[in-house]
């Protein structure tokens, strides 16, 4: 098979993985080396596709042949999809050729499981090793870790990769048993556990410890392929963040796949659901919310699709508002719909200079359409403090199709 | 019309160093912002107000001795504003410097102040422009007569950021000969040295690089046309960059494919999704 045809098959097979981040790697560059590549820490999106997603890494499978039969996956053995397999050298050259033209930040390599978990993992590691050792490639490498691969291989993968990930895909053990019979939550979590231990060792060992996946580990959960609720999903995410110190949980709205199993829904869940989960995840990680607090604003275990979760929480907790912009603690300001982390930082700096008035907030970047109902300033208090929540809710619904983050 | 002789002083400057040399004695003398007319040499009044001679060491030292000092963060901000492609930048820079020295040394912390707000917007436009240049430069490989492979790119940044954006490419491609041409000048990296040429360049017509076909294949295959979100794409990759991107030629047909597929399935895209997923 020609290289272009393989690329077509093996990129197509990789596109259901939402992760494309190239951030978090330690700063390094090619000036002291013989090859090419650098990482800046924040990652770069080199292109965007019409699905709105960032193209940062060459995201491909080494092969889409697979022994497993995960129902949600286009590569499962019972699917009729076209199959292909790259050689190690092909992936290495493609990465270098794309990188050199400034198309990508690096490589995200995953694979179907062929022969055994260890054999597959060995192949992935061979690509990363060749890039790093033979070509002195200093760009970003993300390797998918095959559950049940040996600890030695995982250690080797972590030496070359900036990030490792193991996809748990389904939020409950029961869903996994039903849809991915060869996989088990226990073995996936065990692999995450191995990675976490090595991450901890690398951190505690400081400079002398062997390098291990400096940008940490991540995972992905598919949303809407089975009946798990948002409460289940966020609960699992939160537990994974804590137990394995994940950098990111990606949520991927189930996308009907070609050759789909009859046991899957034949339509996609609203993309808005995925978006709301990301917003809730953001609240967990950067806004000091607990799962229980987000849960207090869920209806039937689901996030409100028509309002962002922070606004939904604020409406359910009117007693916490209005917040005085000139006096409130950072934590309280972060709870105000329409004030993001950066805006709050600006407010804290600006109010050390003088008392803030309502008009100042716009210049500071606040979204007043939402914030105005929940704040007080030197010259302003919300007129609708007594408004029933239902009317306020209607006032807060997004205008037209404009969606909003915080 | 705002004639230059309506102000007590005029200065025509092109670079941060020139602006600083001109501003220093005025700042030391406490000359208020409204008394100075700032222009760039390309502007209408360039002839009326010749650029000050490049500061020689002696006058520079004298200026430094007399000039009040600004905090490093303020200097960095002012230097960044130099890159903003707008005639008003020099005036704003002077006003900020003057106010920092005469009104409030912590002025920059007040993000709601109109001057600080405008400077912050300009600074973030510069940061974004530099970031987009790092992202959207596309090199083409050309094999020279002696067999050496060299890499060329043509790029049109919104602001005058080439000197700010070039070091990134040095770090990333230190062992590869490359050059980037822009309408404001070029950056050339050869044998471990970066040269910035001020002469404006015209868009070169390099032969297409055969690898671009593979890149387009990748772009087509990685896009999930079952979930189109062209608004999110355009917000991050506005159309003005498309002419630099070999993959942009695929956008129209991917959109068509996705729309046809959408028409064929019952699941409708809901209103309200517009932001991309935060990708950190
Ligand atoms: S193991 Fe991975 S590639 Fe194979 S069927 Fe399951 S999800 Fe797909």
Global ipTM: 0.85
Query: What are the C-alpha distances in Å from B135 to residues A138, B119, B230?
Result: 17, 24, 19
Q: Does the structure show a pLDDT above 90 at B268?
A: no
Which of B104, B129, B154 finishes a domain? B129
pLDDT tens for each residue of A65-92 = 999 998 888 899 988 899 999 999 999 9
- Is B204 a domain residue? no
What is the rounded end-to-end Cα distance, in angstroms, of chain A?
Answer: 48
**Statement to judge: residues B215 and B187 lie in one domain:** no
**Statement to judge: residues A149 and A70 lie in one domain:** yes
Q: Which residue has tokens 């868009």? A: B203
- Is A304 a domain residue? no
Distance B274 CA to ligand 1 centre (A): 30
CB A370 within 8 A of CB A405: no
Distance A173 CA to ligand 1 centre (A): 17
- Most ligand 1 atoms within 8 A of CB, residue of A59, A67, A76 to mutate: A76
CA dihedral B160, B161, B163, B164 (to 10 degrees): 150
The verdict on A2 touching B (C-beta cutoff 8 Å) is no
Ligand 1 atom closest to the CA of A67, numbered from 1 = 4
pLDDT tens for each residue of A197-248 = 999 988 888 777 788 998 899 999 989 888 889 999 999 999 999 999 899 9
Ligand 1 atom closest to the CA of A66, numbered from 1 = 4
The verdict on B233 touching A (C-beta cutoff 8 Å) is yes
- Residue bearing the CA closest to ligand 1, atom 3: A112
CB contact under 8 A, A305 and B109: no
Is ligand 1 within 6 A of the CB of residue A167? no
Ligand 1 atom closest to the CA of A75, numbered from 1 = 8
Q: Does the structure show a pLDDT above 80 at A325?
A: yes
- Is B274 a domain residue? no
CB contact under 8 A, A403 and B275: yes
**Statement to judge: residues B186 and B227 lie in one domain:** no
- Is A277 a domain residue? no
Q: Which residue has tokens 């404006």? A: B200
CB contact under 8 A, A51 and B117: no
In which band, very low, low, confident or very high, does the pLDDT at B276 lie, cut at 50, 70 and 90? very low
Taking every pair of C-alpha atoms in chain B, what is the biggest distance, in angstroms? 77
Question: What pLDDT, on the 0 to 100 scale, is given for residue B8?
Answer: 80
- Angle at which helices A389-396 and A309-316 pack, to 10 degrees? 160
**Statement to judge: residues B30 and B86 lie in one domain:** yes
Ligand 1 atom closest to the CA of A169, numbered from 1 = 7
Question: What pLDDT, on the 0 to 100 scale, is given for residue B203?
Answer: 66
Q: Does the structure show a pLDDT above 70 at A40?
A: yes
**Statement to judge: residues B93 and B154 lie in one domain:** no
Range(s) of the domain holding residue A358: 309-396
**Statement to judge: residues A227 and A314 lie in one domain:** no
Bond into A322 cis (ω within 30): yes
The verdict on B150 touching A (C-beta cutoff 8 Å) is no
Please report, rounded to a whole number, the percentage of residues in chain A having pLDDT higher than 70.
Answer: 97
Average pLDDT over residues A157-185: 89
What is the rounded CA–CA span in Å between residue B278 and residue B274? 12
0.95 cut: is pTM over it?
A: no
What is the rounded CA–CA span in Å between residue A393 and residue A308? 11
Question: What pLDDT, on the 0 to 100 scale, is given for residue B2?
Answer: 46
CB A34 within 8 A of CB B175: yes
What is the rounded CA–CA span in Å between residue A126 and residue A89? 9
Which of A269, A293, A325 finishes a domain? A269
pLDDT tens for each residue of A290-299 = 999 998 888 8
- Is B104 a domain residue? yes
Which CATH number does the domain housing residue A124 bear?
Answer: 3.20.20.70
Closest by CA to B280, choosing from A290, A22, A331, is A22
- Angle at which helices B16-29 and B72-81 pack, to 10 degrees? 130
- Residue bearing the CA closest to ligand 1, atom 6: A70
Q: Does the structure show a pLDDT above 70 at B28?
A: yes
**Statement to judge: residues B167 and B221 lie in one domain:** no
Burial class (CB in 10 A: 0-12, 13-18, 19+), B124: exposed
Q: Does the structure show a pLDDT above 90 at A323?
A: yes
What is the total count of domains within chain B?
3
pLDDT tens for each residue of A359-372 = 899 889 899 888 98
**Statement to judge: residues B16 and B107 lie in one domain:** yes
Question: What pLDDT, on the 0 to 100 scale, is given for residue A92?
Answer: 98
A-chain residues near B99 (CB < 8 A)? none
**Statement to judge: residues A370 and A260 lie in one domain:** no
pLDDT tens for each residue of A298-319 = 888 999 888 899 999 998 898 8
In which band, very low, low, confident or very high, does the pLDDT at B49 lie, cut at 50, 70 and 90? very low
- Is A258 a domain residue? yes
- Is A402 a domain residue? no
**Statement to judge: residues A173 and A313 lie in one domain:** no
Question: What pLDDT, on the 0 to 100 scale, is given for residue B204?
Answer: 67
B260/B214: higher pLDDT: B214
**Statement to judge: residues A360 and A256 lie in one domain:** no
CB contact under 8 A, B236 and A48: yes
For residue B260, the tally of other CB atoms under 10 A from its CB is 10
Phi and psi torsions of A125, nearest 5°: -65, -35
Structure tokens at A313: 């929480």
B-chain residues near A275 (CB < 8 A)? 272-273, 275, 277
What is the rounded end-to-end Cα distance, in angstroms, of chain B?
Answer: 49
Q: Does the structure show a pLDDT above 80 at A259?
A: no
Q: Does the structure show a pLDDT above 50 at A159?
A: yes
Burial class (CB in 10 A: 0-12, 13-18, 19+), B216: middle
Which of B72, B100, B129 finishes a domain? B129
For residue A282, what is the nearest residue in chain B, using CA coordinates?
Answer: B278
- Is B202 a domain residue? no
For residue A379, the tally of other CB atoms under 10 A from its CB is 11
Write the CB contacts of B57 (distance below 8 Å, at least 6 apart in sequence). Answer: none
What is the total count of domains within chain A?
2
Distance A256 CA to ligand 1 centre (A): 16
Among A327-331, B8-12, B54-58, the minimum mean pLDDT is found in: B54-58
A-chain residues near B138 (CB < 8 A)? 101-103
Among A266-275, B156-165, B244-253, the minimum mean pLDDT is found in: A266-275
Please report, rounded to a whole number, the percentage of residues in chain A having pLDDT higher than 90.
Answer: 56
**Statement to judge: residues B112 and B156 lie in one domain:** no
Distance A249 CA to ligand 1 centre (A): 18
For residue B175, the tally of other CB atoms under 10 A from its CB is 14
Q: In whole numbers, what is the pLDDT of chain A averaged over residues?
A: 89
Distance A71 CA to ligand 1 centre (A): 9
**Statement to judge: residues A371 and A222 lie in one domain:** no
**Statement to judge: residues A68 and A175 lie in one domain:** yes
**Statement to judge: residues A203 and A322 lie in one domain:** no
- Is B275 a domain residue? no
Average pLDDT over residues A36-45: 90
Which H/E stretch holds residue B40? none
For residue B252, what is the nearest residue in chain A, using CA coordinates?
Answer: A50
Question: What pLDDT, on the 0 to 100 scale, is given for residue A401?
Answer: 39
In which band, very low, low, confident or very high, does the pLDDT at B27 lie, cut at 50, 70 and 90? very high
DSSP for residue B191 = T
Question: What pLDDT, on the 0 to 100 scale, is given for residue B249?
Answer: 93
Q: In whole numbers, what is the pLDDT of chain B averaged over residues?
A: 83
The verdict on A259 touching B (C-beta cutoff 8 Å) is no
CB A310 within 8 A of CB A323: no
**Statement to judge: residues A203 and A136 lie in one domain:** yes
A-chain residues near B251 (CB < 8 A)? 50
Range(s) of the domain holding residue B76: 9-129
Is ligand 1 within 6 A of the CB of residue A257? no
- Is B36 a domain residue? yes
State whether the Cα torsion A39-A44-A49-A53 is positive or negative. positive
- Most ligand 1 atoms within 8 A of CB, residue of A66, A83, A176 to mutate: A66
Question: What pLDDT, on the 0 to 100 scale, is given for residue A265?
Answer: 79
Phi and psi torsions of B153, nearest 5°: -140, 150
Q: Which residue has tokens 């500061």? A: B55
**Statement to judge: residues B123 and B18 lie in one domain:** yes
- Is B97 a domain residue? yes
Structure tokens at A180: 């991915």
**Statement to judge: residues B32 and B58 lie in one domain:** yes
Question: What pLDDT, on the 0 to 100 scale, is given for residue B270?
Answer: 43
CB contact under 8 A, B111 and A350: yes
Is ligand 1 within 6 A of the CB of residue A65? no
Among A8-12, A384-388, B53-57, the minimum mean pLDDT is found in: B53-57
Write the CB contacts of B216 (distance below 8 Å, at least 6 apart in sequence). Answer: B246, B247, B249, B250
**Statement to judge: residues B116 and B20 lie in one domain:** yes
**Statement to judge: residues B18 and B120 lie in one domain:** yes
**Statement to judge: residues A240 and A325 lie in one domain:** no
The verdict on B96 touching A (C-beta cutoff 8 Å) is no
B224/A41: higher pLDDT: B224
CB contact under 8 A, B279 and A20: yes
For residue A299, the tally of other CB atoms under 10 A from its CB is 10
State the SS3 of chain A. CCHHHHHHHHHHCCCCCCCCCCCCCCCECCCCCCCCCCECCCCCCCEECCCCCEECEEEEECECCCCCCCCCCCCCCCCCCCCCECCHHHHHHHHHHHHHCCCCCEEEEECCCCCCHHHHHHHHHHHHHHHHHHCCCCCEEEEECCCCCCHHHHHHHHHHCCEEECCCECCCHHHHHHHCCCCCHHHHHHHHHHHHHHHHHHHHHHHHCCCCCCCCEEEEEEECCCCCCHHHHHHHHHHHHHHHCCCEEEEEECCCCCCCCCCCCCCCCCHHHHHHHHHHHHHHHHCCCCHHHHHCCCECCECCCCCCHHHHHHHHCHHHCCEECCCCCHHHHHCCCCCCHHHHHHHHHHCCCCCCCHHHHHHCCCCHHHHCCCEEECCECCCCCCCCHHHHHHHHCCCCCCCCCC
Is ligand 1 within 6 A of the CB of residue A71? no
**Statement to judge: residues A205 and A316 lie in one domain:** no
User: Which of A11, A353, A398 minimises the CB distance to B106?
Assistant: A353
- Residue bearing the CA closest to ligand 1, atom 2: A112
Q: Extract long-range pairs of A293-299: CB within 8 Å, 24+ residues apart.
A: A294/A234, A295/A231, A295/A234, A298/A230, A298/A231
- Is A102 a domain residue? yes
Average pLDDT over residues A186-206: 89
**Statement to judge: residues A319 and A171 lie in one domain:** no
**Statement to judge: residues B141 and B30 lie in one domain:** no
Question: What pLDDT, on the 0 to 100 scale, is given for residue A261?
Answer: 76
Is ligand 1 within 6 A of the CB of residue A9? no
Distance A113 CA to ligand 1 centre (A): 7
- Is B25 a domain residue? yes
**Taking the CA of residue A257 as centre, how many other CA atoms within 13 Å lie in the half-sphere pointing to its CB?**
26
- In DSSP notation, B87-154 reads TTHHHHHHHHHHHHHHT-TTGGG-TTSHHHHHHHHHHHHHHHHHHHHHHH---EEEE-TTS-EEEEEE
- Angle at which helices A88-100 and B211-222 pack, to 10 degrees? 100
Phi and psi torsions of B239, nearest 5°: -55, -25
Average pLDDT over residues B225-245: 91
């Amino acid at each position: 098979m020609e290289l272009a045809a393989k690329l077509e098959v093996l990129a197509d097979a990789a596109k259901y993985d939402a992760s494309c981040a190239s951030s978090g790697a330690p700063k390094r560059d090619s000036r002291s080396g013989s090859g090419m590549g650098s990482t800046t820490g924040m990652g770069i999106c080199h292109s965007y596709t019409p699905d709105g997603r960032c193209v940062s890494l060459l995201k491909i499978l080494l092969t889409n042949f697979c022994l497993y039969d995960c129902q949600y996956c286009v590569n499962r053995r019972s699917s009729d999809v076209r199959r292909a397999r790259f050689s190690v050298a092909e992936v290495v050259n493609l990465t270098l050729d794309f990188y050199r033209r400034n198309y990508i930040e690096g490589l995200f390599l995953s694979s179907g499981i062929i022969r055994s978990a260890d054999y597959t993992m060995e192949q992935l590691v061979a690509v990363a090793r060749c890039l790093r050792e033979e070509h002195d490639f200093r760009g970003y490498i993300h390797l998918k870790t095959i559950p049940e691969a040996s600890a030695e291989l995982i250690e080797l993968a972590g030496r070359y990769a900036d990030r490792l990930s193991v996809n748990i895909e389904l939020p409950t053990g029961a869903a996994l048993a039903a849809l991915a019979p060869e996989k088990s939550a226990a073995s996936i979590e065990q692999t995450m556990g191995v990675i976490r231990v090595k991450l901890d060792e690398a951190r505690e060992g400081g400079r002398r410890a062997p390098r291990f996946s400096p940008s940490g580990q991540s995972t992905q959960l598919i949303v809407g392929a089975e009946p798990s609720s948002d409460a289940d999903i966020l609960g699992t995410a939160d537990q994974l963040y804590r137990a394995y110190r994940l950098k990111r949980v990606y949520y991927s709205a189930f996308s009907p796949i070609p050759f789909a199993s009859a046991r899957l829904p034949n339509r996609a869940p609203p993309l808005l659901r995925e978006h709301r989960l990301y917003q809730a995840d953001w609240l967990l990680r950067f806004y000091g919310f607990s799962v229980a607090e987000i849960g207090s604003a869920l209806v039937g275990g689901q996030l409100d699709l028509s309002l962002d979760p922070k606004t939904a929480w604020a409406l359910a907790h009117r007693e916490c508002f209005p917040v005085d912009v000139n006096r409130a603690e950072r934590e309280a300001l972060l709870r105000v719909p329409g004030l993001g982390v950066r805006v709050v930082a600006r407010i804290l700096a600006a109010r050390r200079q003088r008392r803030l008035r309502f008009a100042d907030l716009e210049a500071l970047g606040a979204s007043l359409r939402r914030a105005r109902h929940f704040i007080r300033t030197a010259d302003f208090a919300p007129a609708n403090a007594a408004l029933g929540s239902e009317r306020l809710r209607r006032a807060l619904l997004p205008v037209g199709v404009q969606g909003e983050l915080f | 019309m705002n004639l230059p002789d309506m102000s007590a002083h005029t200065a025509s400057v092109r670079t941060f160093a020139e602006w600083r040399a001109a501003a220093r004695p005025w700042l030391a003398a406490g000359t208020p912002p409204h008394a100075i007319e700032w222009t760039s040499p390309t502007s209408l009044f360039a002839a009326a107000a010749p650029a000050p001679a490049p500061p020689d060491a002696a006058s520079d030292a004298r200026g430094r001795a007399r000039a009040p000092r600004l905090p490093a963060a303020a200097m960095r901000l002012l230097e960044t504003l130099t890159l903003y492609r707008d005639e008003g930048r020099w005036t704003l820079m002077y006003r900020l410097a003057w106010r920092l020295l005469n009104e409030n040394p912590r002025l920059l912390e007040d993000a709601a102040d109109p001057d600080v707000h405008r400077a912050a917007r300009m600074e973030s436009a510069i940061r974004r422009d530099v970031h987009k240049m790092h992202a959207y430069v596309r090199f083409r490989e050309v094999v020279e007569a002696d067999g050496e492979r060299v890499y060329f790119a043509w790029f049109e940044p919104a602001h005058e950021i080439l000197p700010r954006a070039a070091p990134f490419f040095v770090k990333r491609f230190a062992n590869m000969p490359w050059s980037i041409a822009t309408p404001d000048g070029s950056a050339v990296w050869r044998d471990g040295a970066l040269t910035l040429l001020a002469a404006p360049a015209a868009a070169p017509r390099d032969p297409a690089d055969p690898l671009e076909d593979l890149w387009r294949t990748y772009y087509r295959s990685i896009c999930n046309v079952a979930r189109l979100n062209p608004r999110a794409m355009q917000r991050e990759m506005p159309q003005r960059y498309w002419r630099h991107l070999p993959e942009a030629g695929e956008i129209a047909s991917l959109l068509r494919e996705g729309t046809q597929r959408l028409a064929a399935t019952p699941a409708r895209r809901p209103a309200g999704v517009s932001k991309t997923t935060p990708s950190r």
